[in-house]
Amino acid sequence: MPHRPYIIDQMISAKSIAAKIENLAREIEQEFQGTDKLVVVGLLRGSFVFIADLVRELDLPVEVDFLEASSYGDGMESSREVRIFKDLRGAIEGRDVLVVEDIIDTGHTLAHVHDYLETKHPACLKSIALLDKPARREVDYRASWTGFEIPDEFVVGYGIDFAQRNRNLPYIGKVRFTDEDG
């Protein structure tokens, strides 16, 4: 449990997220038009809500798999050391792969996952992140698609947690501690 009191200010509404996902889905459909070998890989746990909404917008034959990689503990700072906790269930050799992430912060997680998945020889490897905090980037990683660029704020909701809480909020909000000024 987070030990400091905080409140959550809405930053991106559920409606805006849904509209963005519709647009992203149309672009993804174009990119993967005609393929029957797409595997959409969600990074656990933060992407579980996003991937659920995204795949339901995709008018393509898709398979879904999950990978758990983590650089964060329960704090607010990236450890910069990425570990794979749970590997894919299926093989992706020769497949078209779309990695789905909740948020790109320092970039370490997606850069590491990208290199890791490349070793499995997919035919094509693309990535999508709902949120992007470009101001925090430490490694030059660019996702194929991003939903929203956001400022350097700690956010929760729509799958994204603070010490495992708040994943169930239907919108994206920023954390504001109430035991300090501002």
Candidates 12, 99, 109, 169; binder of ligand IMP (CB under 6 A) is: 109
Candidates 67, 95, 105, 169; binder of ligand IMP (CB under 6 A) is: 105
Write down the least CB distance from residue 123 to Mg ion, Å: 26
**Residue 100 touching ligand IMP (CB under 6 A):** no
CA–CA separation, 39 and 160 (whole Å): 22
Which member of 102, 105, 132, 161 is catalytic? 105
Q: With CB cut-offs between 5 and 8 Å by kind, which of ligand IMP, Mg ion, none does residue 160 bind?
A: ligand IMP
The two structure tokens encoding residue 177: 């501690």
Residue 105: active-site member: yes
**Residue 46 touching Mg ion (CB under 5 A):** yes
Is 35 or 134 the residue whose CB approaches ligand IMP more closely?
134
Contact set for ligand IMP, span 111-140 (CB under 6 A): none
Q: What angle do CA 101, 173, 143 make, to 5 degrees?
A: 25
Candidates 72, 116, 148, 171; binder of ligand IMP (CB under 6 A) is: 72
CA–CA separation, 73 and 76 (whole Å): 8
CA atoms within 13 A on the CB side of 182: 0
Other CB atoms within 10 Å distance of the CB of residue 18: 12
DSSP three-state, residue 114: helix
Can you state the percent helix, strand and coil of the chain, rounding each to 5? 25, 40, 40
Is 61 or 75 the residue whose CB approaches ligand IMP more closely?
75
Active site residues: 105
Q: Which residues bind ligand IMP (CB under 6 A)?
A: 46, 71-72, 78, 101-109, 154-155, 160
